[in-house]
Structure 1
Amino acid sequence: MASEGAPTGFRTGLRGLTTRGRSFLAAGITAVLCSYLLGQGALLQVGVLLAALPLLAAALVLRTRYQVAGGRRLAPHRAPAGQEARVHLRVDNISRVPTGLLMLEDKVPYVLGPRPRFVLDRVEPRGYREVSYRVRSDLRGRYPLGPLQLRLTDPFGMCELTRSFSAADTLTVVPLVQPLPPVKLAGAWAGYGDSHSRAVALAGDDDAVPREYRHGDDLRRVHWKSTAKYGELMVRREEQPLKSRATVLLDTREIGHRGAGPASSFEWAVGCAASVGHHLLERGYQTRLLTDNGTQVPPVVTGANSSVSESIGLLLDELAVVQHSSGGGLNRAEEVLRHGGEGLLVAVVGTLDDEQVAGLGRLRRSAGAAVAFVLDTASWSSLRQPAPAGPDEGLQRQLRLLREAGWTVLAARAGDSVPDLWRMADVHAQAAATAPDSKGTAGR
């Protein structure tokens, strides 16, 4: 809840006089001058009354504006692109006098729609009014809402002041997330920990799974029975469950994408990364987002101070504002992955050259599983020109090289569905796709 600022003087009230108020003031001053020239005492009283009304109205409005407070609430704060969000406004009259007619106007960016305007009837003392409006954007990003502007008028319509509240909010338009089917990826389980939680949790003290002593181990973990059996110092394994890790690599290079606006290959790639990241986080993966320039959003560990929803929100907030990069390669991302690329690697890439394909092939060695969405950006090139019937020979060769390096390759074209492509990453679907045909050749 935000209230309006300090007064700026009675001149502000005079500048806020409406046409009616100025007319009354001019008529009053004229009547006073005429009474002085003509010597009419009754005309003087009329003139004083006419001039006093707009001045009293201005004083009333100036006093009322200190006692008006406003607030804004967004539902939700994160809205998927193309879907609506509702903005709720509340105006409280915390004074002891009614406000008269109020006119509200909230400031919103043009991409969210026209500026909403509302006319509120007289608000009783200690009362409030609530209104709401809807916003929608097909373009992801962060959009400021506010400040809220309020026009205060007196009951006679002689004075009108426009003031802005200080509070503002931000609506985050995130990429549209598509639910993905659960699939089984070859080698997808990779993480850390001494043992699998299910194996250790079922073992008692006598059945504890031991390992050899390492420098720095707590001596209280020494398992004396196993030490006597093996003839060397043994300790109990930490009951630390394996945790799946995943990295979503997003290619943001401007030269690697085609098209413009929501129908571009870049926006398709951002939406794909959002859907995959959301899916992996929900399935328990500690997921980080990595871009071609080396920028990464580290995973948020689920625990007492965080949750899966917070991790998803962090990922979507980053994807809401990601923009094209001016880089020409994936070298920085490759360097990050070489120093910590274990686990599942999902890459969403645009147009690649042979050197970049070779680099992705090398990264496959350190990943538990690797899935690549390779965009055929020629199909996004232009809506005026018909798209090619299929990937060109160069792209086909690159896809073959990635498959030979161990990647699960999913070729994406304009209009393709992310859930349908993700379903093809299943090990059973891959086995069926690569099974020998009737002629004995492997299918592609």
Structure 2
Amino acid sequence: MSSAGRSTRSGRESSAPTDTAGLGSTRARLVGARTGVLADAIVAVVRAARAVGRAFGQIAGRLGSVITPLGWVVIAAIPIALASGYALGWLELVAIGWGALVLSLVAVLFLLGRAPYRMSLGLPHRRAVVGQSARASLTVDNGGRRRMLGAVLEVPVGGSIVELALPGLRRGATHEETFSVPTERRGVIPVGPVRTVRGDPLGLVRRELSWSEQLELVVHPRTVSVPSTSTGLIRDLEGAPTRDLTASDVAFHALREYQTGDDRRYIHWKSTAKTGVHMVRQFEQTRRSHLVVALSLSTHDFASEAEFELAVSVTGSLGVRAIRDGRTVSVVVSTITPEFAKRRLYAVRPLATHMADRLLDDLAVVDASIGALPLRDMARIVSDGTPGISVAFLVCGSRTRTSELRAAAASFPPDVEIVAVVCDPDAAPGMRRLAGLNVLTIGYLEELRLALSRSAAVA
């Protein structure tokens, strides 16, 4: 084989989608591209060590949730004081050991029993938007036969704790409290369960009792109302005839002889009567607008978290507008390669597009990752796996180079309109035309609406 042939073959092998170059996963950092027995053994040892660490962590967490640091000191003092006291003959140490034992047994008594509360935690709205106020309600009912003393209730809200003061309740009385749920960040915020804390006066033990179920508040990314997809770029593509011929459509092309399997509804009877041969109509296939919105989750394409959050909002705005217009739309994000994968995963993950709320639910939980596919690889997969694309929006950040945008646009057929939305708060907003695509640069979400409105006006 010639050297040119060998170099061509090696070039194809090096660009095959089974390499681990740039994988960025834990396995790649441990063993690189090695796949032998030794490499698998190293990965297995690391995974086993992590599993053992998680098991010990769970056990320690359960004990730590009941015994306080002071309680651990008292428990440790019992054998030390008793053993030292009896060995050295020190009555003081013996007294300290037995006293610590008595305190520990008395502290356990404070953990017994359960108050007859009935609590109901509610969220008036299970969805919210970033920055929008959201509230939760708690209803407490005394279902016992005696008056209950006041208590302090704890409600976990995300990573924080909301403390509510519960007054004393007589038999059959009900008390209701409302509190706010922070929505500064996009995501799913767990609310609850409501719990009470019981413990001894010295603080040796602390028992948490749960009284309600855990609810979830889905915080959607912020979106803006963009111009209808019936205007501008997409309006020019909708209904335009193509050179592809089909047996049924709107744009008439010509007549041809009937062939086995043709639909008899399209037989042209006048021409059939003139020629004596069955003739059927042939049509030019018209274009239906199929929008694709591709969001990169790779940290390679974004310089900051603010850029990524802006890109998520852009994706939601475009997808919601297309869904409400009744268009055929696909919203996809990068697939994230697992931490211990041997090879990078070359795929995209579709999001729900049958309802606007479902799409925003999916966008609420997406996160950028070093193991996600960059935009240039996403474009090739989307082009190969999504037939009939008419308009493709590629959403990325400021770290995506112009050469990468051109390579992404080259993956699509020539008749597909490509719009790259670059989210860069530090750049001047505007739209420029490159070879094969339009590049729209925005720094704020409102600029997306203004830019699409200008393109609709020009069209």
Please give the TM-score of this superposition, normalised by the length of structure 2: 0.57
Question: Aligned partners of 1:148 and 1:139: how far apart in 2?
Answer: 23
Q: Distance in 2 between matches of 1:95 and 1:214?
A: 83
In structure 1, the residue matched to 2:318 is 276
Do the aligned partners of residues 168 and 214 (structure 1) sit closer, same or farther apart at CA in structure 2, a change above 3 Å counting?
Answer: farther
Cα distance in 2 between the residues matched to 1:94 and 1:354: 67
Alignment partners' CA distance in 2, 1:329 and 1:169: 35
Any residues of structure 2 matched to 1:130-141 within 5 Å, and which? 130-141=176-187
Gaps of 5+ in 2: 1-66, 68-109, 200-205, 336-346
Is the partner of 2:190 in helix, strand or coil?
strand
Residue 148 of structure 1: CA displacement?
0.8
Q: How many angstroms apart in 2 are the aligned matches of 1:184 and 1:190?
A: 14
1:352/1:96 Cα in 2 relative to 1: closer, same or farther (>3 Å)? Answer: same
Matching of residue 78 in structure 1 with residue 127 in structure 2: yes
1:319 aligns with 2:329: no
Amino acid paired to 2:450: D
Match of 1:169 among 176, 199, 215: 215
User: Does residue 296 of structure 1 match 2:349?
Assistant: yes
Contact 2:121/2:212 (8 A) holds in 1? no
Q: Contact (CA 8 Å) 1:195, 1:242: kept in 2 or not?
A: no
Equivalences for residues 251-266 of structure 1 within 5 A = 251-260=296-305, 264-266=306-308
Instruction: Report the 3-state secondary structure (helix = DSSP H, G, I; strand = E; otherwise coil) of the residue aligned with 1:425.
Output: helix
Residues 3-14 of structure 1 aligned to structure 2 (within 5 Å): none
Note the 1:380-399 alignment, pairs <5 A: 399=432
Between the aligned partners of 1:296 and 1:366, the Cα distance in structure 2 is: 24
Q: 1:118 Cα shift?
A: 3.2
Corresponding residue SS for 1:107: strand
User: Pairwise mapping of residues 16-95 of structure 1 onto structure 2 (< 5 A)?
Assistant: 62=113, 64-65=115-116, 68-95=117-144
Partner of 1:246: 291
Corresponding residue number in structure 1 for 2:396: 349
Secondary structure, aligned partner of 1:124: coil
The 2-side partners of 1:162 and 1:299 are apart by 39
Measure how far apart 1:234 and its partner are: 4.8
Query: Aligned AA for 1:314?
Result: R
Structure 1 CA distance for aligned equivalents of residues 282 and 195 of structure 2: 66
Evaluate the alpha carbon distance shift between residue 191 and residue 400 of structure 1 in structure 2; reply closer, same or farther with a 3 A threshold.
closer
Equivalent residue letter for 1:74: L
Report the counterpart of residue 330 of structure 1 in structure 2.
376
Structure 1: segments with no counterpart, 5+ residues: 1-14, 16-57, 154-159, 200-209, 302-310, 380-387, 432-444
- The answer as to whether partners of 1:190 and 1:344 remain within 8 angstroms in 2 is no
Q: Tell me: CA distance 1:162–1:266, structure 2 relative to 1, closer, same or farther (3 Å).
A: closer
* 1:411 lines up with 2:444 in the alignment: no
Residues matched between the structures, number: 318
2:443 corresponds to 1:423: no
**Distance in 2, Cα, partners of 1:335 & 1:354:** 19
Contact 2:348 2:382 in 1 (8 A): no
Contact 2:135 2:181 in 1 (8 A): yes
Partner Cα distance (1:236, 1:367) in 2: 23
Matched-pair contact (CA < 8 Å) for 1:371–1:425: no
Match of 1:44 in 2: none
Q: 1:146: how far off?
A: 1.3
Q: CA deviation at 1:162?
A: 5.1
User: Given that residues 102 and 152 in structure 1 are in contact (C-alpha distance below 8 angstroms), is that contact kept between their aligned partners in structure 2?
Assistant: no
Matched AA of 2:292 = T
Q: Distance in 2 between matches of 1:212 and 1:102?
A: 87
C-alpha distance in 2, partners of 1:73/1:287?
35
**For each residue in 1:245-278, what CA deviation from the matched residue of structure 2 results, as whole angstroms up to 9, or x when unmatched?**
3111112221221234xxx211111111111111
Deviations 1:323-375 (A, max 9, x none): 11324552133222233251322222223335422323324536653332123
The equivalent of 1:371 in structure 2 is 419
Residues 140 and 174 of structure 2 are in contact (CA less than 8 Å); yes or no, is this contact kept in structure 1?
yes
Alpha-carbon distance in 2 for matches of 1:223, 1:345:
38
Residue of structure 2 in register with 1:122 after alignment:
169
The one-letter amino acid of 1:81's match is: V
8 Å CA contact 2:296–2:378 kept in 1: the answer is no
